[in-house]
Amino acid sequence: MAEQDRPQINLITPPSFDLETFPDRLASVLDSVDTACVRLALATKDEDTIQRAADACRQVAHARDVIIVIENHLLMVDRLGLDGVHLTDGARQVRYVRKELGADAVIGAFCGVTRHEGMNAGEAGADYIAFGPVGATPLGNGASVDFDLFEWWSAVIEVPVIAEGALTTALVEKFGPVTDFFGVGEEIWGAEDPAAALKTLMAPLG
C-alpha cells in the first residue's frame, strides 16, 4: 500500500488508567508507531481526574507533535490546552461546538453505523467522521458497520473517515483501502507491550 494511501492511527486511551504508568505506555506506543491523533476517552465524570489525565497525556502527545482530542468535554479543550473534541453523539452538536471552539479546533463525530448521520456531521463542519464498530461485538445492539458504507464514503465524500471498534488484523486488511484512519484502543491496551500489539494489528498495511 502506497505511503500516502496508508491509513493513519487514531489512538484511543482506555476509559481509566493509572497515571503512574500509563503516560510511559502511551509514549512507548507513540515512539514506535506513527500516530496522527490521541483521543482521551475517559469514563469518569470527575473533573480533577480528567484534568490530571489530560495534562499527562497532552505532554506526551505534544512532545511528539501528535494532536490530542478529548471525548465530549468541549469546555475542557481550551482550559487544558488540547487540540479539539471528539463528539460521541453524531451530528447533533457539531455546528454549535464549531462556533464555540473556532475554526482551528479539531472536531470529530462518532456516527455509529449511520451514513446519513455521518453526512450531516460532515456538512455541519466536523473534521472527521468515525464509524463503528467494524467488527463483531456483543456490545450495544450488536450492529456493525457495513463495508459498503466505507467503500461509498471513500469514493464520494471528502471528509476523512475513521474505522473503529472490535478491529482484527483481517478487518485492518479489508478496510485499509477504504478508510483514512483506524481508531485503536481496547485492542492493544490489555497487552503487555501495547506498541508491539499495535504493530501486529496494523501489519497488513505493510
pLDDT tens-digit map of 188-198: 999 999 999 99
Second-level CATH architecture of 3-205: Alpha-Beta Barrel (3.20)
| Region of residue 54 (phi > 0: left; psi between -120 and 50: alpha; otherwise: beta) | alpha
Is the pLDDT confidence value at 182 over 90?
yes
Task: Specify the pLDDT at position 4.
Answer: 56
Q: What is the pLDDT of residues 95-137, one digit of tens each?
A: 999 999 999 999 999 999 999 999 999 999 999 999 999 999 8
Is the pLDDT confidence value at 62 over 60?
yes
Question: By three-state DSSP, how is residue 96 classified?
Answer: helix
Q: Which of 85, 121, 80, 90 is nearest to 102 (CA)?
A: 85
Domain boundaries of the chain, sorted by first residue = 3-205
Q: How far is the CA of 135 from the CAs of 8, 125, 128, 172, in angstroms?
A: 18, 27, 20, 10
Residue 44 CA, chain-centre distance (Å), reads 18
Is the pLDDT confidence value at 205 over 80?
yes
Q: What is the pLDDT of residues 167-176, one digit of tens each?
A: 999 999 999 9
Q: What is the mean pLDDT of the chain?
A: 96
- Is this prediction's pTM over 0.95? yes
- Cα separation, 188 vs 116, whole angstroms: 31
Q: Kindly report which listed range (40-49, 61-70, 104-113, 136-145) carries the lowest average pLDDT score.
A: 136-145
